[in-house]
Amino acid sequence: MTAIRPDLPGLPETVPARIVNEFVYCPRLFYLEWVRSSFTTNDDVEEGLYVHRVVDAQAGNLPDKAEAWEGRRATSVLLTSQRLGLTAQIDLVEGVSGGVVIPVDYKKGRTADDGGAWPNDRTQSLIQAMLLREAGYKVNQAEIWYAEARRRVCFAVDDEAIAEIMGILRRLWHTAASPDAPAPLVGSPKCPRCSLVGVCLPDETNALAVRARDREPLRRVMAPDKDARPVYVSTQGATVGVRRGRLEVFHEGKVTASFRMIDVSQVCVFGNISVSAQAIRELMAREAPLLWFTYGGWFCGMAEGLPAKNVELRRTQYCASPEAALSIASAMIAGKIRNSATLLRRNSRSQVDAVNGQLRALSASARRVQSTQSLLGIEGTAARLYFGKFTTMLSEAVKVDISAFDANGRARRPPPDPVNALLSFTYALLVKDLTTTIHSVGLDPYMGFLHKPRFGRPALSLDVAEEFRPLIAESVVLQVLNNGEVREGSLVTRAGGCQLQPEGRKAVLRAYERRLDHEITHPHFGYRVTYRRALEVQVRMLAAHLLGELSAYTPFVTR
**pLDDT tens by residue, 338-359:** 999 999 999 888 888 898 899 9
- Residue 221 pLDDT level (bands cut at 50, 70, 90): very low
| Contact (CB, 8 A) for 256 and 238 | yes
**pLDDT value at position 166?**
92
Average pLDDT, integer, range 449-466: 86
**pLDDT value at position 136?**
86
Average predicted confidence (pLDDT) for the chain = 84
* Angle (deg, nearest 10), helices 17-25 and 119-134: 150
Residues in the chain: 559
| Contact (CB, 8 A) for 91 and 105 | yes
pLDDT of residue 215 exceeding 70: no
In the chain, the domains with their CATH numbers are 15-177 (3.90.320.10), 229-303 (3.100.10.20), 311-546 (1.20.120.920)
Lowest mean pLDDT among 103-112, 197-206, 391-400, 510-519: 197-206
Share of the chain above pLDDT 70, in %: 87
| Contact (CB, 8 A) for 514 and 531 | no
pLDDT of residue 551 exceeding 70: yes
**pLDDT value at position 287?**
79
pLDDT of residue 150 exceeding 60: yes
Measured between its terminal Cα atoms, the distance across the chain in Å is 57
Highest mean pLDDT among 60-64, 409-413, 514-518: 514-518
pLDDT of residue 412 exceeding 70: yes
- Alpha carbon distance 296, 264 (integer Å): 23
| Contact (CB, 8 A) for 547 and 181 | yes
One-letter amino acid identity for 255? V
pLDDT of residue 43 exceeding 50: no
Residue from 22, 51, 54, 48 nearest 35 by CA: 22
pLDDT of residue 534 exceeding 70: yes
- Alpha carbon distance 184, 518 (integer Å): 29
pLDDT of residue 97 exceeding 50: yes
Q: How many Å is the Cα radius of gyration of the chain?
A: 28
- Residue 366 pLDDT level (bands cut at 50, 70, 90): very high
pLDDT of residue 212 exceeding 70: no
**pLDDT value at position 201?**
80
- Residue 518 pLDDT level (bands cut at 50, 70, 90): very high
Question: CB atoms < 10 A from the CB of 342, how many?
Answer: 18
Question: CB atoms < 10 A from the CB of 346, how many?
Answer: 10
**pLDDT value at position 40?**
59
- Alpha carbon distance 121, 145 (integer Å): 10
pLDDT of residue 433 exceeding 60: yes
pLDDT of residue 112 exceeding 80: yes
Q: Are strands 73-81 and 86-95 parallel, antiparallel or unpaired?
A: antiparallel
pLDDT of residue 52 exceeding 60: no
Higher pLDDT, 134 or 62: 134
- Residue 154 pLDDT level (bands cut at 50, 70, 90): very high
Share of the chain above pLDDT 90, in %: 33
**pLDDT value at position 385?**
92
Looking at the DSSP bridge assignments, the partners of residue 77 are 90
Higher pLDDT, 72 or 41: 72
- Residue 217 pLDDT level (bands cut at 50, 70, 90): low
- The b/e string for 273-287 (b: 16+ C-beta within 10 A; e otherwise) is bebeeebeebbeeee
**pLDDT value at position 131?**
92
| Contact (CB, 8 A) for 385 and 355 | yes
- Residue 226 pLDDT level (bands cut at 50, 70, 90): low
Higher pLDDT, 36 or 217: 36
pLDDT of residue 10 exceeding 80: no
CA distances from 376 to 14, 345, 371 (A): 50, 24, 9
**pLDDT value at position 73?**
79
Average pLDDT, integer, range 191-212: 75
Higher pLDDT, 424 or 72: 424
**pLDDT tens by residue, 233-261:** 888 889 999 988 899 999 888 888 898 88
**pLDDT value at position 55?**
47
